[in-house]
Amino acid sequence: MKLLLSVLLTPVAVLLASGQALAALQTKTIEYKDGNTVLEGYLAYDDAIKGKRPGVLVVHEWDGLQSYAKRRTEQLAKMGYVAFAADIYGKGIRPKTTEESGKQATIYRQNRPLLRSRANAGLKALQSNPLTDVKRIAAIGYCFGGGTVLELARSGANIAGVVSFHGNLDTPNPGDAKNIKAKVLVLHGADDPFIPETQLKAFETEMRQGNVDWQLISYGRTVHSFTNPDAKGEIKGAEYNPIADQRSWQAMQQFFAEIFRK
């Protein structure tokens, strides 16, 4: 009878434990501003962890702050970070087509001071959270967001590190690399057709001349958007690669272990 009772109770115990784990993850939509522009970011943290912890700013792809960036933000929160997904485009601006995404991304790629301002506004929102250890902050970004966190670093942001996943590497002002205080990790698809060899070489030169602590990892047989399972080849040269996804996430974790070490 005791054995039967134990068997019957075990699934209940598992469900309760699972419910407690789920309850620990907290997510919130946060309004903040860049000047007069209202932005709407996404915060995630584990309330089972007490006290301050490292913060990670997440910057979305060219389609704006949608489900993919939010999933990554939650993933980081489950790892013990307070994570905040920034909104570069503005509240309610969530492109639905590649044409709309391209139009929005172009606004900021052609106006890097505005892009830097939006990224720094997201950083300030993360820094203002009482859970954030402001001395241990990193920023990561995907595609458009990867280029954005590099511009955040070039702006002189006082953060520990930035990680670009399949992001653009170009900048109109390569001399600004001298402002970079953060360590830099670039995770790149070796066969990404959107990042020409000239851009890659120019980035390497920029980092060397700026005396930056930087790393660049190229994944073979890998194109653009390699971390996103929703990238299924509809756009030529942009496709999910599960092996490169796993390897790049592990590289980010190793990088965080280094820069967040007390």
**Full DSSP string of the chain:** -HHHHHHHHHHHHHHHHHHHHHHHEEEEEEEEEETTEEEEEEEEEETTS-S-EEEEEEE--TT-S-HHHHHHHHHHHHTT-EEEEE-SS-TT----SHHHHHHHHHHHHS-HHHHHHHHHHHHHHHHTSTTEEEEEEEEEEETHHHHHHHHHHHTT---SEEEEES-----S-GGGGGG--SEEEEEEETT-TTS-HHHHHHHHHHHHHTT--EEEEEETT--BTTT-TT-BSSSTTBB--HHHHHHHHHHHHHHHHHHT--
The pLDDT, as a whole number, for residue 6 is 39
For residue 76, pLDDT beyond 60: yes
For the chain, how many residues are written?
262
Q: pLDDT digits over 38-60, tens only?
A: 999 999 999 999 999 999 999 99
Nearest to 217 by CA among 189, 243, 192: 189
Sequence spans of domains, the chain:
26-259
Cβ atoms of 52 and 132 closer than 8 Å: yes
Q: pLDDT digits over 225-246, tens only?
A: 999 999 999 999 999 999 999 9
Rg (CA), the chain: 19
How many Cβ atoms sit within 10 Å of the Cβ of residue 173? Answer: 12
- The mean pLDDT of 90-100, rounded to a whole number, is 97
Cβ atoms of 53 and 131 closer than 8 Å: yes
CA–CA separation, 142 and 66 (whole Å): 12
The pLDDT, as a whole number, for residue 15 is 34
The pLDDT, as a whole number, for residue 262 is 78
Cβ atoms of 151 and 132 closer than 8 Å: no
- The mean pLDDT of 115-123, rounded to a whole number, is 99
The pLDDT, as a whole number, for residue 14 is 37
- The mean pLDDT of 135-147, rounded to a whole number, is 99
Cβ atoms of 24 and 46 closer than 8 Å: yes
State the average pLDDT for the chain.
93
pLDDT band for 5, please (50, 70, 90 cuts): very low
What architecture does CATH give domain 26-259?
3-Layer(aba) Sandwich (3.40)
Nearest to 168 by CA among 192, 152, 184: 192
